[in-house]
Structure 1
Amino acid sequence: MSPHLLLIAVAAQMCAGQPGPPDPPGRIAVIGAGIGGSAVTYFLHQQFGPQVQIDVYEADRVGGRLATLTVNSQQYECGSPTIHSLHLHMQDFVKLLGLKHRKDVVGKSAIFNGEQLVLEETDWYLLNLFRLWWHYGISFLRLQMWVEEVMEKFMRIYKYQAHEYAFSTIEGLLRSLGGDHFVNMTQKSVGESLQGIGVSQRFIDDVISAVMKASYGQSVAIPAFVGAMSLAGAQGNMWSVEGGNKLICSGLLKLTKANVIHARVTAVSLHNTEKKRLYEVQYEQEGTLGSDYYDLVIVAAPLHKSGYPISFLNLPQSVPDPMGSYHRVVSSIVHGYLNSSYFGFVDPKLFPFSSILSMDTPDAIFHSLESLCPVNVSVGFRRKPPQEAAVWRVLSQRPLDRKELKTLFKSYYSVQVIEWQAFPSYSTAVSSKPLPPIILHDGLYYLSGVEWAASSVEMSAVAAKNLALLAFNRWFELNEKIDQQDLMHKLKTEL
């Protein structure tokens, strides 16, 4: 026998009886087809390969809170309308799917205190800065530095994920980016945090409260990390997808050839067989009950007290109770003539704003009021002048009654109302409560708990990438890629 063949024989004998790497999962279930569910389907497909069958269960519509509705034969965003330029996963999705950024239609904003406008944006950047300084001193500079510092650290996640590192808890992910400071930001209010860096109470009451109301329909008592993510988006550089942001979700599911099942999942139960562990997904579809078996199950729908009731059966430990309830936000899409005199402009031709944010006052009838552009914008498109009928999106705590509609609009042709269980009720999150778990059982994962740290389309995409990497690394026992400490230093030394 030649030395080469001998070495092969010895190696074969040494390996005999030793288990090889596990086979990849055969079937994966994803519950929910919003941006989180669509993104995790794509990332799972990337990690495990096209041979894995992925079934996506959706009880309502693909896209979730990325949705449009039709007014006068044109579609308008009624869910999350814009995406930040620093949202790198969303940027990648657009390129991957061959989608386009919608043409930017510039508009100015103002803040309303219930009686008058307290801050008005102009066409001149330097004049805007001067007005902020005149009213609030250097508070806006302190705010900007705080947000930029948070975002600079948050951007580390893309480098970690490019090197396929994952985290088994939301706290661990946050700690890897910004240390204990980021974790503490989930337990401390944005108002308190901004006061701590010298932002004036007047600036918080006038500006920060208006942004929080427009973003989440809640006060400055929401956690600081949530607030920082929202304030980053309020500083411009926003975009949206030509044809509607929901095209990202449908596009990702089509690209991965996922099997979309329009059904409501009622239960997930564990079954241990002699060969392997399986999860049974039970569902209801058009009045008929069904079930199927999977190696991995990802819950990408919010588990909250008033929301998506899924029973988890036969698990060795119980799934933690939902952290709290979700906050209701009402979106009214109104086609009509704005009552500009309510905002101090008797002549509607002189009204220059495309959006109005409302301060957090007891008598406020709306959170924000925004003139919408269609999801398809032609080259010569222009915003309707204020004296013409336009399509407006009004965010409010509850549906507007006839009197309130007449206060905001001189007259209107149509009103379409969508009630969203849009975001967590963050007032319950500013505490020492731990964030929801990612791992519910060995092959059972929860994606939507990340919303309790911060809720945005990009945060869901980041969590989706982390979960796909985590599931892959745990399946193939790549423990060196999970929950590593001091990753910034590790990556610098590796490079």
Structure 2
Amino acid sequence: MQLSGASPVMLIGFMLCRLGATEVQGLRNPPNRIAVVGAGIGGTSAAYFLRQKFGQHVQIDIFENGEIGGRLSVIEINGNHYEAGGSVIHPLNLHMKSFIQELGLNALPLHRNLVDIYNGDEFVFQESEWYLINVIKRIWNYGLSFFRMHMWVEDILEKFMRIYQYQNLDYSFSSIDSMFHAIGGNDYITKLNGTLGEDMQKSGFSQRFIDEMVVPSLRGNYGQGAKVNSFVGAVSLACADSGLWAVEGGNKLVCTGLLSASKAQLVRGTVISVQERVRPTKSGDTVKLYEVNYETDKGPTLDMYDIVIIATPLIKEIGNIKFLGFEPPIETVSKPFHQIVATFVHGQINTSFFGCPKPCQFSVSEISTTDRSNLFFNSIGPVYPVKPTTESEISKASDIKVWKIYSSEHLTDEQLRRLFESYDAVIVKDWLAFPKYSPPEKLPPVILHHDIYYVNGIEGTASGMEMSAVSAKNVALLSYHRWYGKDGQIDQQDLVERLKSEL
């Protein structure tokens, strides 16, 4: 194309056309290196979204000292593998659905167990295989509370779905509070500042319904009761919906797939500290970088990065990273985490423990417990392999199955003997699984320093695979927009109205 004799205006126009999609970057160079600390679902999805935004020429390093997948894990019993960490994916989890499609993985529909609610003395509710019988029993015991509860949960989740529209349009948020405010305004923020029990009572639910139906769900999912915030309560209750699924072969395959798709370099090491350094450039100027100090099996080492993404909980038991020399000091205000012990037992359940001596007239399935049960476990139920299993294969297993028991403490041999007539295998996974929820929730910042970002702060609202993926994409978008000065894509609070005109 000949440009001789062209006016300055024409030359500028030509340059802008040649820039095309990169015009937003102006004259600033892209970052050279980005560090991601943690290779769980938050870290690997962050690397994946960072690659999408910053392009192929940025080096992305992921630091991990344990297994890829973090709190997504499987265990093996008698040649079969079972989910030991995050295990349930909701049909509305759009990032997780997108991941498995793009990575070529398969969804595995979850078997629906009948749920019985036990208060330590008797079953206060037992599900039937017949839908109509369940409807009659629920109305008899709780009126229309079940149907109202589904509407209450759907209203909260429907508003949360707006985040996918925002992210598809490249909008990001510099804090979790601003994200939740953009999703649903001040009313939505109140879901983080009040307890689930209080919120549901104000909405007309009886204390009996909360104690016998709502709390058992929370104990089975989060190991906590009705004093959690309302948003995490809604997330827990959504796990009772139909259409739940997992990833065939194990949910952690999403993490290994995202790591590969991001073309990030895996660094096997423990990050010890991060501090800001000033380095000279070839042009004689200076640039501020972050020095990441880490320990590998070969000893201590360090590398310099333009952007650092923290994708591990900043508590001393998990991610005890020191931020050195920052003024003001970096304070994450991370909440303490709740311990959950998952005990997997291959054996035959002792029905007499639940007041039904042999021959027992009912088949024990999934049992959730109330907060007043004073039992040594939160829930117990059969689990199934992470490979496809037919109904006929399940029925052949008779009464001997693999059971998963959730508890706050390790079970003793005496407690296992009380729960089981016989067993031949026991595997224990001890997790600091999620925060101890106690509203009002004081959420950690997303921006820890100018170019240091925190993915896991969103767990203060609710912990889950999809929540981590949502936060990871927000951090990727936020770091990109702040790097290139795209302030119009950050913390826009009129998005609900703007979407009506843009979509």
Counterpart of 2:343, as a letter, is S
Structure 1 residues 265 and 305, CA gap change in structure 2 (3 angstroms)? closer
Residue ranges of structure 1 left out of the alignment (5+ in a row) = none
Q: Distance in 1 between matches of 2:274 and 2:501?
A: 43
Any idea what the Cα deviations from partners look like across 1:307-359, whole Å, max 9, x if unmatched? 32110012222111533210101010111111122224434675434311111
3-state SS, counterpart of residue 172 of structure 1: helix
- 1:259 paired residue number: 265
Q: Aligned residues, how many? A: 488
Measure the CA separation in 1 of the matches of 2:435 and 2:11.
60
- Residue correspondence of structure 1 range 153-168 to structure 2 within 5 A: 153-168=159-174
Aligned to 2:282: none
1:230 lines up with 2:230 in the alignment:
no
- Aligned equivalents of 2:417 and 2:5: distance in 1? 89
Give me the whole-angstrom Cα distance separating, in 2, the residues matched to 1:324 and 1:2. 61
**Corresponding residue for residue 301 of structure 2:** 290
Counterpart pick for 1:216 among 222, 225, 236:
222
Partner of 1:334: 345
Matched, 1:135 2:138: no
Among candidates 394, 407, 432, match of residue 383 of structure 1: 394
Q: Which residue of 1 aligns with 2:310?
A: 299
Q: 1:456 aligns with which of 460, 464, 467?
A: 464
Residues 124-163 of structure 1 show CA distances to partners (whole Å, capped at 9, x for unaligned) of: 2222122111111122222111101001100011111000
Q: Name the structure 2 match of 1:53.
A: 59
- Change over 3 Å in CA distance of 1:237–1:2 after alignment to 2: closer
Partner of 2:19: none
Question: For structure 1, which segment, 299-308 or 439-448, has the greater mean C-alpha deviation from structure 2 after superposition?
Answer: 299-308
Alignment of 1:55-134 (within 5 A): 55-134=61-140
Q: What is the CA–CA distance in structure 2 between the aligned matches of 1:2 and 1:198, rounded to whole Å?
A: 73
CA contact 1:306–1:326 (8 Å) conserved in 2: no
**Alignment TM-score, normalising by the size of structure 1:** 0.94
* 298-307 or 1-10: bigger deviation: 1-10
Which string of whole-angstrom CA distances, capped at 9 and with x for unpartnered residues, describes residues 241-290 of structure 1?
Answer: 11001100011001112111121111011112343221111111126111
- Superposed CA deviations along residues 195-218 of structure 1, whole A, max 9, x for unmatched, are 010000000111111011001111
Structure 1 Cα separation of the partners of residues 363 and 98 of structure 2? 35
Provide the C-alpha distance between the structure 1 equivalents of 2:267 and 2:253, rounded to a whole number of angstroms: 18
The 1:380–1:359 alpha-carbon spacing in structure 2 relative to 1, beyond 3 Å, is closer
Q: Percent identity?
A: 41
Contact 2:275 2:323 (8 Å CA) reproduced: yes
Distance in 1 (CA, whole Å) between partners of 2:359 and 2:41 is 39
Q: Does the 8 A contact of 1:298 with 1:444 survive in 2?
A: yes
Q: Which amino acid aligns with 1:45?
A: R
The residue identity in structure 1 corresponding to 2:294 is Y
Alpha-carbon distance in 1 for matches of 2:469, 2:131: 33
Alignment of 1:245-284 (within 5 A): 245-273=251-279, 274-284=285-295
User: Match of 2:8?
Assistant: 7
Question: Contact 1:212–1:220 at 8 Å: present in 2 too?
Answer: yes
- For residue 375 of structure 2, the aligned residue among 322, 341, 364 is 364
Give the secondary structure class of the aligned counterpart of 1:177: helix
RMSD, matched Cα:
2.1
Specify the SS of the correspondent of 2:247. Answer: coil
Q: Matches of 1:487 and 1:447 in 2, distance apart?
A: 22
Quickly say closer, same or farther: Cα 1:11–1:86, change in 2 above 3 A.
closer
When residues 116 and 312 of structure 1 are mapped into structure 2, their CA distance, relative to the original with a 3 A threshold, is: same
Structure 2 Cα separation of the partners of residues 167 and 210 of structure 1: 34
| Distance in 2 between residues matched to 1:355 and 1:213, nearest whole Å | 13
State the distance in 2 between where 1:25 and 1:11 align. Answer: 25
2:418 aligns to what? 407
